[in-house]
Structure formats: C-alpha cells, structure tokens
Structure 1
Amino acid sequence: MACSSRVMTAPVCLIATDVNGLLCVRKEAKDILEGITEPVVVVSVVGLYRTGKSYLMNRLAGRGSGFALGNTIESKTKGIWMWCVPHPSKAGHTLVLLDTEGLGDVDKGDEKHDTWIFCLALLLSSTLVYNSLGVIDNMALEKLHYVTELREHIRIKTKAGDGDESGQYVCVFPAFVWTVRDFYLELEKENKPITADQYLDGALELKTGDTQRIKECNLSRRSLRDFFVKRKCFVFPRPASTKDMKRMEELTEVELDPEFLQESNMFCQYIYSSAEPKTIMEGFTVIGGDLANLAEVYVEAIRSGSVPCLDNAVISLSKIHNTRAVDEALQLYVTETKTTQFPVEPQQLSNIHMSIQTQYEAFCVQNKEASRNVCLAVLLRVFAPLESSVRDHHYAKSGGYQQYRHTLTQLTASYRSQTQMQIMREEVLSNYLSEKEETGRLILGTDQNLTEALRQIEAERQRRLILEQQERERVAQRRRQQQALKEQQRAHDENMRQLEETRRREQERIAQENQRMMEARLQEQERVLQERFQQETANLQRELNRVNVSNSGGGDCCIL
C-alpha cells in the first residue's frame, strides 16, 4: 500500500464529535490519507446500531478483529472510523474501509446527527453497504428514511436553481449493497427459488394505489430506485448461537454457521471485485489525500450550517491540486536548474523550462550573464597577445597595419571556435571590436608605407568589417528572438493539445453519463411496465374467476 510510512494495524477515527458537539476530521486519520498516493476504493457501512456492521468491515480487512464489536445493547462505534489496507485484488489501489456510528441509538437521541453520518458515509464512499436485521419489509424501509432526505442534505450544484439535479445523483452516488443479517426466510416467490437480488428488487416494487399511506410506503422505495441504479443484496443467516454471539471476535471459522461463512465469503469477493475506485464529478479518480480533503470540505460545510455541495468540493479539490501542482513544478524547476552547470545551450535550458515564465526569464538572465562572463574570459585570454603587441608598439611600423589586421582576424577565428556554444559570444566580440576601432585607426595612421588611397581602402574595409560584425549580432539577436517565439508556440501548442484532450474526455464523460441515465430510465420504465402488466393480468384473472363462479352458480338453477 502506497500509504504513510507506517502500516495500519488497527482502525483510527476519521470523523468525530468535538467538545462543542460539532463534527470534525481527526488529524491522525487525515495524515494517513495524505500519505496514500494511489487510487482508493472506499467502502462504507451504515445501519442501525447493534446490527453487526463492524464485523463485516473486519471481514473485508481480512481480520477477525479491528473495528470494535459490542456484545451489549450499547452502540460501540462512535463517529466514522477508518481502516486503510492494501487492496486484495487490485494492484496499485488501497481499500479504505469506513465503519460508521450506529443509527437510531436511543441514548444519543440526535436524529440530525444520524442524518449527517449517513450523508458523509455516502459522499465519501464508492460503495455503500446498508446493514439491517431480519427481513426487508415496510418497517425496514421506513428505518431507511435517510435516503428520502438526500435532496435536502446534499446538493450537486452550487446554486439550487442551476438546473435539474435529479438525474445527476445517479452518476455521483455510490453503488448500493444491502446486507440482511439473521435472515430466516426461504428465498422463494410463488413456490419458485429466487436470488437475493431478486428479493431486494421485489421488496422495492412500488405499491399500487393513491392513498397517503401507500405514497409514504413508496417514498423510500422510489428514492432507492432513483438514487442507486446499481444494487446488490446479500442475506446472512444467524452466525452462531445467542451465547456464542457474545464472543464473536473470538469465534473461529469452524465455530461459525457454514451458510453464514459462505455468504460472508461471497460478500467479500463481490466487494473486492466489483467495488470501483472513488471518483468525483468530471470522472476524477480520488487518491488518499483527495479523500482527506473531501472529508474536510464536507464536514466544514456541515459545521457552518450549510449543505455539502459536490460542485464546491470539486472546486476546492481543484484549487488544492492546482496550488500543489504549481508548487511542485516550481520546486522541480528550481531544483533542476540548480543542478545545471551554467552556461548551457539554449535548448538544454529550454528543456528544463516548464511553465513558470517569471522564473524562466530570471534563469535566462542568469544564463546570459554566465555566458557573457565565459566569453569575456575567453576573449581576454585569446586576445592577450594582441593587447601586449599594441602596448609594446609592435605595429607602429611600415606594414604594421596589415600585420595588425592579420593577427586580429586569426584571434577572432580562435575566439569563435572556443565559444561556439555561448549565446553571448557575438555581443561580447562586437563590443571588443568596437573598442579596437580607434586602435586600428591609430595603427593605420602611423603606417608610412600606405598611400592615402590605401588608407581609405583600409578604412572602408575596417568599416565594412564592423558593419558585418554588427550584422552578425543582428542575426544572432533574431535567432534568439526566433527561439523565444518557438518556445511560445510550443507552449501554445501544448496548451491547445491539453484543451482538446480535456474537451474529448469531457465529451466521453458526458456521453457515458447520458448513457447511464438513459439505461436507468429504461430500466425504470421496463420495471413500471412489468408491474402494470402483472397488475392487469391479476385483474383479468380475478374477472375471469368471477365469471366462472357466476356461470357455475347459474348451472344449479332449475327453469320451470
């Protein structure tokens, strides 16, 4: 597990209640999550207290103990506890297990607190497990009334009027798994065996009628069907006798009911294989640090008296990622540049350069200055013999000018050969030759063997030489400008490519979301049509039975 330096041998509290009675994120858990740099598969379990939620989480963690199990009527788990373990079947992923405080604790008596615990578990998870006892009937569905209040406690968009959100809940809510504990019925319908999934779908069928009672009964059913398209059900028999249940943590697999053990293994394998990595809007895959930030954003919204909003969470997460990316890029840029031996070629410096233009320009200035210093050092060494000859008046003689020009040309070629990779070589050389222009005129003036015409020719030649050197400098300047333009164009092309890639991914995401919404609606339409068909069939069958009874009764009459 690419987690923090320590391995989690036991769960820690992720979300607790502070001294003021407000929810808060615990620093220890936040630090652990920030150390996880790989995608996280987050599985949360919710349900009424004393229903065995913690046992399921321990099974998923591959441990017999960890999350606290209680054997009394008191709720054992408080807040939301977290256990991060390496994913058993998905390499490069971390399985984050969240065990929540039991809902409906009579000692707590705070239904609002229960609602927020349920909402936080839902928002943070990629798979939500709801644990209950007995059977799935009207009473069980009524106890799951939190799902009917989700629109009041969770917003998709920043503003309530930013369009219809109903279809978007399907895309952002986790997969739903209902685990029924101590199940004692036979999985049969009309004397035919059915699966646990079919049992759940049957329990969620809408009741027909327009009475207020029927509408209330259908409210939880409709909410579960609308919010959670992907649903799964597992039914567990009682794991052991009442006496042994008091020491569940101590029981070995041999002491557990075989059917319970088989269902537990099936449940774990389903979670391992089917639970997806946690994502948020725009299809962004969440890593450990992101999960910690999401928890803080949602908890802070609750503490402030507002409602958790997925749009705000995405914006906050984006700001955190952008700030972190800029800081990391700047640090990498500075580090890479510090390890570079200046001066360097422009292309090498350009390869180091990423996106921080201000820092890039500062290093360019530094690079030019370093190149200038190297060129000056080479120039002073190469032209030292010329300077010595000038000081010794070696060229103050007949033919001295020609000798001076020849030496100057040779030394210039030598300087260029030694500064081929330096961007400031022509500028430094131009400044030096400009300084030597007066020296050349003095030497030329003292050359008695030269005719006046020859002096003019040599003066013109010297002037052309200076002009040529200036032209070289302009060419070098243009090259530097062209290099800068190329860098700008490359950055622009890269930005356009990234924008196009983002647009393409957004189109794919929208298409996938539309497809999922369409499939959900088609499934719902098919389910409704099937219910109507069954209802009409039942009505026709009753009418047929009535007619048959009527006909049978008429056969007993005697006509006189």
Structure 2
Amino acid sequence: MCIFNVNAELTMCLSPSVLGSLALTYVDSIRSGKIPCLESTVHMLSEIENTSAVTMASKAYSEWMEEQVFLPTETVEELSAIHNQCQSQALQLFMKQCFKDEDLRYQQEFMNSVAKIYADMCEKNMKKSLDISTAIMMDLGAAMKEKEKNGSYAKPGGYAVYVKDMDELVEGYRAESGKGVQAEKILQDFLEYKQQFSEHIRIFDESMSAREKELAAEREKAEVAEQERKGREEEQRAAQQRQEDQRRVMEENMAQLREKLEQDRIKLHQEHDRVLEQRLKEQEKLQREGFQTRAREMEKQIDSLKKQHKETESPSYLDRILDTAILILPVGYKLIPVGAKLVKHFWQTSFE
C-alpha cells in the first residue's frame, strides 16, 4: 500500500507488516498523550525496521557460513563460492525487510557487516591452513631433524642422503590432503629455511667434486625459485579472488536493488492509477454538484499526481538512486563498478 498526503504527493509505499507496525506506533503515540506526526513516526519506524533488517540478515549470513564452511578449504575459490551463495540469500532477507532506506545507509551497513564477517572467515581459513600445513611439515621432517642432530649428513656422501630425504619429504608433503590455501607458502618457507643447512653439508661433503657441488647448488637454487613462484601464485590467486568477490557482491547488490526498485515502481504506478481515478471521480462529482472552487483545488492534486507518475517513469528517477548506490558502497566494492553501470544501462534502455 502507498500513502499520499493531503496534496496528493506520494509519501511512501508500505508492506502490510510495516503498515501494521506504523499503525501501532501511531496509536501508541496518541495513547501516551503526544501529538503524533506521521513523518516522524515513519522515520522512527524505518530506523527500527532497517536496523532489525541489518541485524537479522547479517546473523543469517554468519550462521550459514559457519554451517557450510569446513576450514581449511582446499582453495580460495571454494570459500568464495559458499560466500557468494550465503551473501545472496542474506541480501534477499535484508531487501525483503528493509523499509524507506532512502539514502541506502542501511544497505551499506549490511554490506560492511557481511564484508567484515567474510574477511574474518578468510583470516581463519588462512590461519587454519598455516597451522595444519606446519604440523604436517614438522611431522614429516622429524626423521630428518633427528639425522641432523646425530650427524648423519655431516660425513662423506651425506649430501646425497640429505637430498634423497628432502625429495621424499616434499613428495610426502604434497601427497597430504587438507592442507588448505597456505600449503605452498609453508613449503616455500621450509625450503628457504633449509637452504643454509643444505649449503653447509654440501660444502663439507668431501665425496663431491667442485663441479658436482656447483651443479647441486644451481639445482637447489632453481627448486627454491620455483617454489617461490608457486607461493606468489597462491597469494595472487587469493588477491584476485578477493577482487572477484567484491565485484560479484556489488553486482548482486545492484541486481537485487534493481529488482526491488522495479517492484516498488509497479506498486507505485498501480497506487497512482488508483488514487488518480478516485480523484477524477471526486472532481467530476464536485463539478456536477456545483462546487467549482473545490473542483479546481482537486485539479491541482490531479496535476500533481500526473507529474509524479511521469517522473517515476523517467530514467533520471532511477539514475539518482543507482548513482547513490555506487557512491555509498564500501571502498573495496568500488574497485570494479561494472555491475552498477550495467544496471544503470538496463534502466535507461528499459524506459526510453
């Protein structure tokens, strides 16, 4: 239902539940002895409804993530896919309950809340992966550490034994599942940490020729460089996924905002038509009964309704809302504003 003031200007469109809450709030004001003001009552109600919408939708998102995510995830894409699904569902909840969020302040609060929860989940995912990968590496490396202590590598031929043990350790580490998104980083750190010890036993291995030592050093350097490359790729993939998540969240927000605007526009036009028809009948009755002055006053209301109807059909009407949506987005979500531009273009082409 839409409410109009005495000048036939649209005040708001209300759902049945919000209308009921508004009526109760209005009646409570009267009972308390206060002089009720519809505008202030609506403002107060919108704050209550929208704050509740942010809390409810954020809580739902958090609970769904906790239920569906098992840390650590093998890839950042796995966590991202769950996030996108939960965020979309939570946004639907928010959109369904939000009311008169004219500057989209509460939608921004919701997006910030989801972004923080997701960031915390990503951090937990990384930490869990670090802990598990480190534990696996320490377990697999226990035998080598014991050999280091008893000097098994510090004798002629010790370097060859060391290389064999290292190859088996790396192979065993890679074969372990459930390490998560920091697996390559831990292996990179381990190889870099072992470089100095490896160089030490290689230099003092009397069974190796100078050329063999030189070739071995080059091989180790290449292996470490390759692992560093894999570690960087792992970090870059995570960073790219975060940007992709931001883009998708923005597109989803704009898409659902577009859908809500379209629904409100349809309701608004229907209510405009209903009120306009009613006013025309009232004007006709006044003219028949000879109340020309009141009929002329009614004409002003009718003109105002027609003007509003025309304004809401204009692309600029929705442009202002969508432009505002772009401006209020959290900083991270402004990185790739493709979704908002596409939605804006949709409205322009739809109403031309």
Give the conservation status (yes or no) of the 8 Å contact 1:375–1:419: no
SS at match of 2:8: helix
Distance 1:347 1:377 in 2: 24
Aligned to 2:40: 312
Q: State the partner residue of 2:7.
A: 166
- Cα 1:512–1:432 change in 2 (3 A) is same
Pick closer, same or farther for the CA change 1:293–1:284 going to 2, 3 Å: closer
Task: Describe how 1:39-50 pairs up with structure 2 within 5 A.
Answer: none
Output the CA distance in 1 between the equivalents of 2:229 and 2:159: 24
Separation in 2 of the partners of 1:421 and 1:497? 36
Please give the alpha-carbon distance, in whole angstroms, between the structure 2 residues aligned to 1:524 and 1:361.
Answer: 58
Total equivalences in the alignment: 259
Residue 286 of structure 1 corresponds to: 17
Question: CA 1:333 to 1:431, structure 2 compared with 1: closer, same or farther past 3 Å?
Answer: same
CA shift, 1:411, in A, is 1.7
The 1:292–1:519 alpha-carbon spacing in structure 2 relative to 1, beyond 3 Å, is: closer
* Partners of 1:298 and 1:308 within 8 A in 2: no
Take 1:384 and 1:497, find their aligned partners in 2: how far apart are those partners? 54
> Any idea what the Cα deviations from partners look like across 1:80-135, whole Å, max 9, x if unmatched?
xxxxxxxxxxxxxxxxxxxxxxxxxxxxxxxxxxxxxxxxxxxxxx9xxxxxxxxx
Answer yes or no: is the 8 Å Cα contact 1:283–1:509 preserved in 2: no
1:357: which partner in 2? 115
Which residue does the alignment assign to 1:22?
none
Contact 1:294 1:313 in 2 (8 A): no
TM-score of the aligned structures, taking structure 2 as reference length: 0.64
Aligned-residue offset at 1:382: 1.8
Q: 1:483 to 1:401 in 2, by over 3 A?
A: same
1:526–1:337 distance in 2 versus 1, CA, 3 Å: closer
Q: Which of the residues 157, 161, 168 maps onto 1:410? A: 168
**Aligned mates of 2:204, 2:62 — CA distance in 1:** 56
Deviation of 1:476 (Å)? 0.3
Name the residue aligned to 1:472.
230
Contact 2:156 2:207 survives alignment (8 Å): yes
Contact in 2 for aligned 1:434/1:466 (Cα 8 Å)? yes
Q: Counterparts of 1:367-378 in structure 2 under 5 Å?
A: 367-378=125-136
Select the structure with the greater relative contact order (CA < 8 A; seq sep ≥ 6).
2
The farther-off stretch of 519-528 and 475-484 is 519-528
Pair 1:327 & 2:55 matched: yes
Q: 1:375–1:424: 8 Å Cα contact kept in structure 2? A: yes
Aligned residue type for 2:35: S
Aligned residue among 290, 296, 299 for 2:28: 299
The structure-2 alpha-carbon separation of the partners of 1:419 and 1:466, relative to structure 1 and needing over 3 Å to count, comes to same
Give the partner amino acid of 2:56: E
CA positional deviation for 1:526: 4.4
SS of residue in 1 equivalent to 2:154 = coil
- Determine the structure 1 residue equivalent to 2:208: 450
Once the two structures are TM-superposed, the CA of residue 441 in structure 1 deviates from its matched residue by 0.5
Aligned residue number for residue 426 of structure 1: 184
Corresponding position of 1:483: 241
Structure 1 529/306 Cα, relative in aligned 2: closer, same or farther at 3 Å? closer
Give 1:388 shift.
Answer: 2.5
Q: Give the structure 1 partner of residue 344 of structure 2.
A: none
1:462-508 Cα shifts (integer Å, max 9, x gaps): 12211111111110000110111111111101111122123222322
Give the aligned partner of residue 246 of structure 1: none
Percent identity, please: 25
Distance 2:73 2:198 in 1: 34
User: How far apart are residue 401 of structure 1 and its match?
Assistant: 2.1
Secondary structure (helix, strand or coil) at the match of 2:180 reads coil
Structure with the larger helix share = 2
Match of 1:520 in 2: 278
What amino acid maps onto 1:386 in structure 2? M
Q: Which runs of 5+ in 1 are unaligned?
A: 1-125, 127-154, 158-164, 173-280, 533-560
Structure 1 residue 430: Cα displacement: 1.6
Decide whether aligned partners of structure 1 residues 371 and 299 sit closer, same or farther in structure 2, where only a CA change above 3 A counts: same
- Equivalents in 2 of 1:296, 1:514: separation in Å? 26
Quote the Cα distance in structure 1 between the aligned partners of 2:53 and 2:78. 23
SS of the residue 1:166 aligns to: coil
TM-score, scaled to structure 1: 0.42
Q: Which runs of 5+ in 2 are unaligned?
A: 88-110, 291-352
CA 1:297–1:464: 2 relative to 1, 3 Å? farther
Rg bigger for which structure? Answer: 1
Deviations 1:188-229 (A, max 9, x none): xxxxxxxxxxxxxxxxxxxxxxxxxxxxxxxxxxxxxxxxxx
Offset of 1:293 from its aligned partner? 5.5
Relative distance call for 1:366 and 1:299 in structure 2 (3 A) is: same
What is the rounded CA distance, in whole Å, between the counterparts of 1:333 and 1:528 in structure 2?
56
The 1-side partners of 2:31 and 2:159 are apart by 89
CA distance in 2 between counterparts of 1:499 and 1:466 reads 49
Contact 1:298 1:313 in 2 (8 A): no
Flag the 1:297–1:401 CA change in 2: closer, same or farther, 3 A: farther
Work out whether residues 302 and 308 of structure 1, in 8 Å CA contact, stay in contact via their aligned partners in 2. no
Q: After superposition, give the CA deviation of every residue in 1:351-410 in whole Å (9 maximum; x if it has no partner).
A: 256342223322322222221111111111222222233333323344432332232123
Partner of 1:441: 199
